[in-house]
Structure 1
């Protein structure tokens, strides 16, 4: 298949993800949306259904099974792979950008957690130094462990490009959030004008995906972790199943505005599922190709990367506000909170405990989105083939 035709199919896929839920919502509301339906940032969410024990137990079981895959992979057919000696650093020194990142991240966190009202420019744009500072620290850690090899040391331009890709990759979720009646909101978003918040969201979201790649890069420096999932079940998706899942996914996207409380979890699954299947059909490499030979390392470690980073994001976010009598008091416009149906109990900071599971598919989505972005713009990348695991 010609590259130009592949590009066309990919663009059609993105158009479908964007326009199908809008079409469904337009029909659902007979073309008359409430004035707050597409409000950005969402400040208040509609009332959601309360706790449901059967749904909570069902989701908890799924989360438990996933946890067992990581903790006891042999239960799922993974075999032990002889680990090679760890890559020890040659000089044991952190690079310059590690210390720059520590200053950016630590200084920003100090301002946020100290509840300071100044300097306003840090408070108003906190996500930028917070996310990128931590990414620089992580990259420096990888550089130290490998004796001088990291994403930035190999190609700083690639890290910047991943940041650019992160903007469009994340804003898809901000868009789909409208159709599930705002699973997350920004209760302090009114601290700045809406148009300024949008700029803030675009700039800040550039740091989200690089964090996934840095955690992943760190994970594969540990041979025991890298090889833990390298010899597992060999799975191949037959073409008919891919076609069926594509059809079902777009049907669910169409009806997501009709049943936002029932289908709210699909927000984190469908973009990953649809794009991955299309890439498979276009014969563009993804980490799922390795699953055919039983190597689940990339898939499971990218998922784990954002489960870890997601916990940290919730941690940083929660303590940037004061919580008094159920009220959130913060100077940070990007502070987020959640409003989800059925499982909104046992919180890990602001996040319902079972909601952390959404970070798993998002971690895999990060590498899939980057592969698409790199392919469309013909950007060389170490992550668009299995060579980065060698």
Structure 2
């Protein structure tokens, strides 16, 4: 049996899906944050049922911290979007003075949904049998090269947005993952060095699963985003051009690197979240 909060989450998801057709307000306008908070509750309950350990039950303060950091992280991407102009929000005018609050609440769900989904994938041991045959060593010079590339990937879309916009989905991984590794924080580089491919693969799969769900649930929402992506704006699945889904893979690694970097600024303790 699922934890009670997981059952409540399931019920809310069903009701919100039914309201696709009924369009009862204010539920219709609040659809996106409602369904994502419910998703987070359901996935956490599933993780706890499988391994008797979950973010809500065993790492509650870290769980709350995910929401706070998620807001900050996504506003960073909103800043970059000022230059690349790859997406815009429609339908927010009906919210009046609550527009910004709605965005904050919606943005807060990104990181918790990502770590919960990664935890679920790890819980079912999907990639545990896949092993790297050798360790991958990263020299200090290579780590510094990655950091420099990350800085370039951050600034190039600001100055040359039309041709370099995809780099925003790689910049923070290149910039922060080497720093995490050098500071002995969890990192993709560290996992590869330890021949642990299971965690990076879980992160990548979580990224594309969430990407699909973000686009699916956004497509039906009253308040939603639409894309304007140069060169690859053809053959859309929901609102996202099919090639755009590839961006969810580096975005997943980026979220992981950003989280552990900013967490390390406040505490050195690195409890396993997935």
- TM-score, length basis structure 2: 0.90
Q: Which residue of 1 aligns with 2:25?
A: 119
Corresponding position: 1:309 with 2:210:
yes
Kindly provide the CA deviation profile for residues 134-156 of structure 1, in whole angstroms up to 9, marking residues without a partner as x.
0111111122223x322222133
Unaligned residue ranges in structure 2 (runs of 5+): none
Helix, strand or coil: the match of 1:165?
A: helix
Q: Which residue of 1 aligns with 2:34?
A: 129
Kindly provide the CA deviation profile for residues 117-140 of structure 1, in whole angstroms up to 9, marking residues without a partner as x.
x322x3343333211100111111
- Structure with greater helix share of residues: 2
Helix, strand or coil: the match of 1:336?
A: strand
Q: Work out which of the residue numbers 244, 253, 266 in structure 2 matches 1:355.
A: 244
Q: Work out which of the residue numbers 227, 233, 244 in structure 2 matches 1:338.
A: 227
C-alpha distance in structure 2 between counterparts of 1:109 and 1:380, whole Å: 40
C-alpha distance in structure 2 between counterparts of 1:379 and 1:123, whole Å: 42
Helix, strand or coil: the match of 1:185?
A: strand
Kindly provide the CA deviation profile for residues 194-223 of structure 1, in whole angstroms up to 9, marking residues without a partner as x.
x63222111211111111111111111223
Q: Which residue of 2 aligns with 1:102?
A: 10
1:157–1:109 Cα change, 3 Å: farther
C-alpha distance in structure 1 between counterparts of 2:268 and 2:137, whole Å: 28
Count of residues paired in the alignment: 274
Q: Work out which of the residue numbers 93, 96, 109 in structure 2 matches 1:207.
A: 109
Contact 1:209–1:366 (Cα < 8 Å) also in 2:
yes
1:232–1:311 Cα change, 3 Å: farther
Q: Work out which of the residue numbers 179, 185, 206 in structure 1 matches 2:83.
A: 179
C-alpha distance in structure 2 between counterparts of 1:128 and 1:232, whole Å: 43
Helix, strand or coil: the match of 2:161?
A: coil
- TM-score, length basis structure 1: 0.65
1:303–1:164 Cα change, 3 Å: same
Q: Work out which of the residue numbers 107, 127, 132 in structure 2 matches 1:231.
A: 132
Helix, strand or coil: the match of 2:185?
A: coil
Q: Which residue of 2 aligns with 1:367?
A: 256
Contact 1:303–1:363 (Cα < 8 Å) also in 2:
yes
Bigger Rg, which one: 1
C-alpha distance in structure 2 between counterparts of 1:184 and 1:215, whole Å: 24
- How far off is 1:167 after superposition? 1.0
1:110–1:372 Cα change, 3 Å: farther
C-alpha distance in structure 1 between counterparts of 2:29 and 2:269, whole Å: 34
RMSD, aligned α-carbons: 2.2
Helix, strand or coil: the match of 2:163?
A: coil
Helix, strand or coil: the match of 1:341?
A: coil
- How far off is 1:277 after superposition? 2.1
Helix, strand or coil: the match of 1:373?
A: helix
C-alpha distance in structure 2 between counterparts of 1:303 and 1:281, whole Å: 22
Contact 2:185–2:270 (Cα < 8 Å) also in 1:
no
